[in-house]
Amino acid sequence: MKVLETDRLILRWLTPDDTAFILELLNEPSWIRFIGDKGVRTLEDAKNYIVSGPMKMYSQMGFGLFMVERKEGSIPIGMCGLIKRDTLDNVDIGFAFLSTYQTQGYGFESASATLKYGHEQQDLKRILAITSLENQASSRLLEKIGMKYEGTIILDKEKLKLFASEK
């Protein structure tokens, strides 16, 4: 199901048909370094990740992490979406892209659209974002889309930067 469309991108729900892409994305060095190793090593692991993560959140919340595809050629390049974690009081925005597609404005384009979607379509008053302390690229992107740095928090024994956007 298509959720958002920008000039160059389509953001849609992930399905079990996306397992090969998810397997590749979750094993990118930048994913493992900045987000963490999810232990996804096989197509079956990737399918379980999609079903028990994004698809479960779609059914519970009406949103989740979305597949980001380039319109030209319907090429999957990353994920961007809204997540409701038990460990945070508010919904947060998350994104990750294959290294081949980083630094080309796709993160900004999809994250801007997702933030607007969260505030306007989902009526979320406050949206958070978290990044590892050393992930400068994500921090810059979050500030570029208008999120404000609020300090650091401890989440799952890890010190993280916290950003927020108020409607």
- Compute, in degrees rounded to 10, the torsion defined by CA atoms 32, 105, 150, 163: -60
Quick check: 138 and 126 in contact, CB under 8 A?
no
Query: What are the residue ranges in the chain where pLDDT is below 70?
Result: none
DSSP state of 102: T
Residue 167 one-letter amino acid: K
CA distances in angstroms from 105 to 141, 150, 161, listed in the order given: 10, 24, 22
Alpha helices in 10-151 (DSSP H): 19-25, 29-34, 43-50, 56-61, 106-120, 136-144
Quick check: 111 and 95 in contact, CB under 8 A?
yes
pLDDT value, residue 41 = 97
- Compute, in degrees rounded to 10, the torsion defined by CA atoms 150, 154, 155, 160: 50
* N-term to C-term CA, the chain: 26
pLDDT value, residue 28 = 95
Q: How far apart are CA 32 and CA 135, in angstroms?
A: 12
pLDDT value, residue 158 = 87
pLDDT value, residue 127 = 98
Residue 54 burial (CB count, 10 A): 23
pLDDT value, residue 167 = 87
